[in-house]
Structures are given as structure tokens and as C-alpha cells.
Amino acid sequence: MIMSTHLKNILEIIRKELGARPSDVPGKYRKITVKGMPFRVSRFVSPRCCNVAVMEMNTLIMNSSTIIITPFEKKAPLVNIDVFRILGKTKYICEVYEFDGSNHASFYEDIPCIGLNSEPLSDDFWFSDLRTFVKCFSKGPFQGGKDRYEQFLTEFTDRTCRIYKEAGSLGIPGDEARDFQIRRIKDYAHGLIEKGGVSTEVFKSAMSVEQLKDFYDTVLFRTRE
């Protein structure tokens, strides 16, 4: 599978700014087939900072990439970036999740998006209160301006890295504040499985609940070492 240009660019920013390096993914989770769609999973780690999980999928009519940045010993938000292309139509989604109030959403609010086709995302989810910032853009198959959309992704990633670099340290495992944050993230991840989440519902067709929890805990959100 060939990594898309925008995904390469985002990962290069994270590598450069946060020192993230490739890390192991258990063999059983490196390739996951969901309803005939092959997902490739990889992971990067910035020591004492964050986990970066990547999922890619590519078929003749659809391709997608998802990046999830989860804080370790940093008081920082969980960040999700999705890009989906179906029959030439592309959707870009950038989300920020915070578990102790809205402390970082304002860092993203002035990213230029004039001329980008913005779409609302439903806030009728159990986790809506945790999502403090979200932007969803949709580009039709015959519309130009791809570079402008990907420029938004670049700036969004830059600001995320800046937040992580400037965020206060929470200490090592066993530190009360650090463990509390990890617990909240784990509750959110397991909540997607138990209460519902758009992508999670799809993966339930390929894994049992226990397998999915293990995948989330050890790879996607890395709340368990």
C-alpha cells in the first residue's frame, strides 16, 4: 500500500517536531480486513509525550487514512485526523478531544479556512461534550483547491505539535495526574465500543468486543503498555 502524500507530510511534521519514531504493532493488528476492506495499521511514539496511531485503507473506489495522537505524560488533547476519498469525493475531518475542560480549542480557531467547503458534524453523540474543536470539509470530485485543504491539515498538525511541545509534564506511570488522564482516555476509547462510535461500529464486524478493546488499549490509543 502506498502512503498518500498528505499522510507522509503530516507524519513528517510529527517526526520533526515531536521526535516520533516507528514503534511495534502486534502482528495480528498490522493488517485488519473489515467487510472486505484491508486496513494497514502502524504506530509511532514520541517518548514521554504521545502515541501516534495510523490506519490506512486503499481499494479501487475508496481510500482513507486516520491519525490518532494520544498524550502520554503531557497535559494535552487527544487529536484525530481523518481523510476519506470515495469515488473522487474527499472528506477531511480534524477533531480535538479534551478530558478536563476546553483548554486548547482556542489554539485552532483562527486557522484560515476561507474558500473551503465546510460541513457540520453531528453533535448528537455521547462523547460530544469531550470534542472541543472540530472541522469537517468536503471536496467534490471535480472541484479544485486540494492544496488549500491539505494546507489546513498541515497548520492543524503544526499547532497540535506546538501544544504538545509546550504542554506541562504529568510525570511517569504512577503519577496521579498522569494516570487520571490515561484513565479518562481509556474510558473514552472503551465508550466508543460500548456506547457507539461511527468507525468502531464497522470494526465490530471484524473483531470481538474483547479483541477490539485490546486493539484500542495496546495500539490505537495505547492506554496500556
Beta bridge partners of 66: 55, 82
pLDDT tens readout for residues 70-81: 998 999 999 999
Cα three-residue angle 14-138-152, rounded to 5 degrees: 30
**135 vs 24: CA distance, rounded Å:** 31
Mean pLDDT, the chain, rounded, equals: 91
Residue 60 pLDDT: 84
- Report the sign of the C-alpha dihedral through residues 157, 76, 221, 18, in that order: positive
Percent of the chain's residues with pLDDT above 90: 72
Total-model pTM: 0.94
What does the block give as the cell for 37?
476492506
Q: How far apart are CA 213 and CA 47, in angstroms?
A: 23
Q: What are phi and psi of 53, to 5 degrees?
A: -100, 140
pLDDT digits (tens, 9 = 90+) for 52-92: 999 999 988 889 999 999 998 999 999 999 999 998 899 99
**pLDDT class of 224 with cuts at 50, 70, 90:** confident
Amino acid 81: pLDDT:
96
Contact 80, 65 (CB under 8 A): no
CA 190 → CA 60, 96, 216, distances in Å?
32, 18, 8
The per-residue pLDDT for range 132-141, each reduced to its tens digit, is 999 999 998 8
Query: How confident is the model over 111-130, as a mean pLDDT?
Result: 89
For residue range 151-202, list pLDDT tens digits in order.
Answer: 999 999 999 999 999 999 998 788 898 999 999 999 999 999 999 887 888 8
> What's the DSSP call for residue 105?
G
